[in-house]
Amino acid sequence: MKVLRFLSAATLLCTASFVQADTITILNPSFEADVLACSPGPGCATDDTLTDWTASTANPSGFSGGGVAFNNFGVYKPGTAEYPGGVPDGVNVAYLSTNVYNVSISQVLGSDLMANDTYTLTGFVGIRKDTSVIPPGIGDFGYNVALEANGTVLNSLVNEGKVNAFLTPGTFVPFTVTFNSGSTPAQLGQALEIVLTDDGSGNQFEPSEIDFDKLSLTDTSQSGGGSTVPEPSLGLVLAAAMVGICAIHRRRRATV
């Protein structure tokens, strides 16, 4: 019976070896690549530059009035007045700041969409605690985080409406976006992409800012597909062990 139990355990271990999680490389995931020499605070930021990330803007609200519309993005080194508890990783965050328009930053990854895989995108999002005439983010339509493949959204986290309803000023909260590719995904073999968006306010008098930090993407490959395969050496060792167990079991039965 002990041999049979060990054989069952070995079989389960062999099966489990076909389910593995890899970390997909995100360049500059915590936005620390740009070193800012200034003191932490509202003015310590870059303007419209962010290493390894690309920005784009749009006007989803249909705004066509007068006034000044703006959209900015970059690296920001906040202080304790903005985030009393600090930031999730390092000293920098990525900021997206706009009023009328929305603004996004994106990165095309060096990994393609595979079949039978589960992709898990995690990170942190926050809004600043310091205020001026209008608290940052109070007029915001929301934000969203998307995992895409060749421009097609695979899955996204969408928070629409006044961001103060789901974000507490001065703190970062974690987010997770998960996508199960299945056996025949329509975007099979296409490059994965991360897109982070501040949806703006639609009003030139209501500025908004969303900050992001500490991004990570994992790929859990299931048996029969995906980019991750079990180590051949492990499979051979398990197979040899199972053959040996069976041989010992047969010999014991023959001597009974």
Distance CA 251, CA 243 (A): 13
Distance CA 27, CA 33 (A): 9
Assign 214 to helix, strand or coil. Answer: strand
Smallest CA-to-CA distance from 113 within 63, 167, 153 is with 153
Instruction: Take residue 7 and report the two structure tokens written for it.
Output: 């054989």
Burial environment of residue 28 by CB neighbours within 10 A (0 to 12, 13 to 18, 19 or more): middle
pLDDT of residue 216: 98
CA distances from 178 to 22, 122, 244 (A): 14, 9, 41
Contact yes or no for 94/53 (Cβ under 8 A) = yes
Instruction: Take residue 93 and report the two structure tokens written for it.
Output: 């965050």
Domain boundaries defined on the chain? 1-17+231-256, 22-229
Instruction: Take residue 235 and report the two structure tokens written for it.
Output: 């499979």
| pLDDT of the chain, 256 residues: tens digit per residue | 454 454 454 444 444 445 678 999 999 999 999 999 999 998 899 998 999 999 987 654 444 444 455 678 999 999 999 999 999 999 999 999 888 778 899 999 999 999 999 999 999 999 998 865 455 556 677 899 999 999 999 999 998 777 777 888 899 999 999 999 999 999 999 999 999 999 887 777 777 889 999 999 999 987 544 444 444 444 444 445 554 544 444 454 455 4
Helix, strand, coil % in the chain, rounded to nearest 5: 15, 35, 45
Distance CA 242, CA 178 (A): 36
pLDDT of residue 167: 87
Look at the pTM and tell me if it is higher than 0.75: yes
pLDDT of residue 225: 43
pLDDT of residue 163: 77
Q: Which fold has domain 22-229?
A: Jelly Rolls (2.60.120)
